[in-house]
Amino acid sequence: MAPPGLHLAPTRLLDSSCSLKKTLQCSCSFWGTPTPSVRWRVGGAPVVMNRTGLRVTSATLGPWANSTIHLTEPPETGMSLLCEGRNPEGTHTLTILLKSGRSSLVAQTFMKGLVRGVFYGAIGVTLLFLCLIPLIVKHIRMKQAKKIAAMKAEKSPPRTQEVSKAQGTRKIQSHPVS
């Protein structure tokens, strides 16, 4: 039985966080009356306090219970952490699925291939462009030469041959033959 004036309350998860610095560190904060107890499970197995690669610190103050787990070794991909707060009025759990920061060999190979493909493709396009520049320049110059020739032809009067008077003129007449 609870003491008079004490209202019982089931366990509630108030806050949780994970951070990765030198080690992976996850924290859970629970509230409840009576004060909840906090337990951790790694990969479904309960955490034993002095287990190699793990360190747990816990503190309680009034109706609050806080617990932090430190993983000193890199976690396996797909490994789960479970933080459980429990009192006689209820249980609240949080499951954290860990994903390795190291990408798989397939993803690394794909990225290397993608980068190489982009790099070699850029070199190929550049070389092709450099080979086409002389042809493009020649084509442009030919177009400009044709335009200039056409403009000169429009501006200058047509040439006619005149025979000077000093040479004399000849007239050729044709007569129809009957």
Give per-residue pLDDT as tens, 19-74. 888 888 999 999 999 999 999 998 888 887 667 778 899 999 999 999 999 888 87
Domain boundary assignment for the chain? 9-97, 103-149
Closest CA to 83 of 131, 27, 133, 137: 27
Question: How far apart are the C-alpha atoms of 165 and 84, rounded to whole Å?
Answer: 124
Cβ(82)–Cβ(94) under 8 Å?
yes
Bridge pairing between strands 80-87 and 37-42: antiparallel
Amino acid at 76: E
Percent pLDDT > 70 in the chain is 79
Tell me if residue 101 falls in helix, strand or coil.
coil
- Would you say the pTM of this structure is higher than 0.85? no
Domain 9-97: which CATH class? Answer: mainly beta
State the pLDDT confidence band at 109, using cuts at 50, 70 and 90. confident
Q: E strands of 62-116, at which residues? A: 64-71, 80-87, 90-97
